[in-house]
Structures are given as C-alpha cells and as structure tokens.
Amino acid sequence: MTRMHNRRTFLAGIAGASALSIAGCMESSGSSVRMGTGTQGSATFAASQALQSVINDSADEVRISSQETSGSGAGNFRLYDNGEIDGGGFDNYASAQAVNNTGNFADRSVDSIPYQGFFYVLSHMYIVTSPDSDIETTDDLSGKNVWLNPAGTSVRPPTDAVFENAGLYSQINPVSVDRSGLPGAIEEGRIDAAVVYGANSKALPGWVTELDTRFNFIVVTPTESFKQAIRDTSGIGYEEVSTYGWEQDIGSDEVATWTLGAQFRFGDNVSTETVQTIARVTYEQNESIIEANNIFPEYEDPSDMMAAAISDQAVHPGVAEFLKEENQWNDELSIGET
C-alpha cells in the first residue's frame, strides 16, 4: 500500500512536477528504526553514528539501527522506496531530483520519499584559487582547469548544476581527481581553481584542512550572474557566510555560497511517538552528540533543527509534535501523516 498525499509546489519556481508519494507505507518494525548512513568517512555516516549512540543510550523505547549505504543521494532514496530502510540521511538536492524525476531519477524514478525530519549538515560551497592566479571573479574561470569535487560525492551534482546554470560548465575544463590526489594535482599545476566547502558554520572537512596547511588560497569572487545561477538552482540555497575554518587569510571575511542541506528523514511507517522521541532526545542531548561528532550542528533552539527544511514538502508528524510542544513550530510548513 502507498499513502498518497496532495502536495503543492516543491520549491519556489518549480512547476509541473510529477505526482509522488511523500513517505510510503510499509509495515512498521515497532520502535526500531533502520537508518541509512552513507559510506564510512562521510558526514552522513559520522552524524548517523553519533545520533545512534546517543539515542540508543538515552531512549529506552527507541532503537536506531544504522546501515551503511552508498550515500545521502539517490542511493538512500532508492533503498527507502524499496522498503529496505525506514529513514536516514538524505540530501535536499537529490530530494528535488526525486520529486521532479530529473537527474539521477530521470530514467529510474521512485514512488515515494520519506518525510522531512531535521538537518544534520549544511555545506557552504565556494571557489578558491592561488593568490598568484589571474582569476579574480567567476567570469575568469573560462578556459581554466577547475576541480569541482569527485563524481559520486553529494556536493558534486549541485555544483555541476550551478556551473551549468551560470553558463560556465561548457567553458571550463573539469579536472577529475579524488580528494586524496588533490594536493598533488595542485602542486603539479594541474588545477587553477577548486570548489571547497565548510560544514555547519563550524569547521572545514579534513581534506580542506590539509589544503589549508600546504597551500595559499584566495576566494574567487562570484559575479552577480553567478549568484543568480545559485538562486535559480533547485534543491540548494544561497547564503553569504563568513569564511570560517581557515587558518590563513583567504582574502575575504565573507563569501557568497551555494548551500546543500542534508536531513534525517523518516517514513510514515515510523510512528509519531518514535520520531517525537528521537527529535526530543536529539535536542536535549545535543551536546553529547557533538562530543561524538564535533561538526554536528548546535541547536540553540528547537527551531534550529529545521534550518534546512524545504518549503511545501511535508515534515514528519513526530518532529512537528516535538516542535509544537516547544512552541517552535512553523505554521508555513505542512505535516505528513502516519
């Protein structure tokens, strides 16, 4: 059985998306929740492991069972659609593609996606280059060797989309190298500019920290047309943030970024009470989760848990009930059914 829900436009500016069930019915496994975690070393895996540890220690009536998966993108959406997981980590860009049958879902769609829960990572992406480079703005990237992150990572598809919307993708030379090989490629002069990111306004990932210790960088200034391309890209956000995490001065205190949010989502087979407990313990034990995973977000208020919520896509009623309990629910968001 599939629970069908009427839904409004997925994101502002998107029209005509095909009908899709937000959260699909399958038999409940009680208070045990199977969560898809992504691969070891990923932000999703680290956040899921930290969440599982604290929930399983603090909530007698709820157990999380983390299952390593291919990632927070199409892989987890397909596992959920197949009934193999009850929830887990899902990124917003892949969610937009799943709803609209585009990208990885163009030839192989899914019938349902889980309800929104609460966010665990918000990646702020931008471009850096060498201070000795002749690159100052994104207009100067034409004809240059640009590293966009490896294929298969969650940040690559939205990055490609931003460059395509800006009319730049066909003008650059994308460099294919994994993150471990990136320092060598920079040393050999094979890369003119690179896309990097920070997480949750707290820290840089380890591979960027390594670059920080070995090379000098400056921010590539996005033009107004590039900024508009970010705003026009479905499934991501536009945000101007401080250039946090760097030990060096990268030439600017603030940078315009394209942001990718990832959320813990839960299917409609997971009861309201179970998800309400998970949300409550996550908020109340936020510090304990951060001790286990130092880049996990700090939720000063319960409403902070919804920082990456997508308009017009239903939130799991368990999360909604928790936020209502705390007088922090946003009435502009819709609530799903279990």
Q: How far apart are CA 63 and CA 81, in angstroms?
A: 21
- Flag whether pLDDT at 12 surpasses 60: no
- Flag whether pLDDT at 64 surpasses 90: yes
The predicted structure's pLDDT at residue 205 = 87
The secondary structure of 18-68 as a DSSP string is PP-EES------TTEEEEE--STTSHHHHHHHHHHHHHHHH-TT-EEEEE-
* Mean pLDDT (whole number) for 295-319: 95
Residue from 301, 167, 162 nearest 238 by CA: 162
Predicted confidence band at 7 (pLDDT cuts at 50, 70, 90)?
Answer: very low
| pTM metric for this prediction | 0.83
Question: What is the overall mean pLDDT for the chain?
Answer: 90
Helices (H), 120-271: 156-165, 182-187, 206-214, 224-231
* pLDDT per residue as tens digits for the range 169-190: 999 999 999 999 999 999 999 9
Residue from 87, 141, 138 nearest 112 by CA: 87
* C-alpha dihedral sign at 86, 92, 93, 99: positive
- Flag whether pLDDT at 9 surpasses 90: no
* pLDDT per residue as tens digits for the range 258-289: 999 999 999 999 999 999 999 999 999 999 99
The predicted structure's pLDDT at residue 329 = 98
* pLDDT per residue as tens digits for the range 114-133: 999 999 999 999 999 999 99
In degrees to the nearest 10, what's the CA dihedral of 236, 240, 245, 247? 140
- Flag whether pLDDT at 4 surpasses 90: no
The answer to whether the beta carbons of residues 331 and 307 sit under 8 Å apart is no
Number of residues that make up the chain: 338
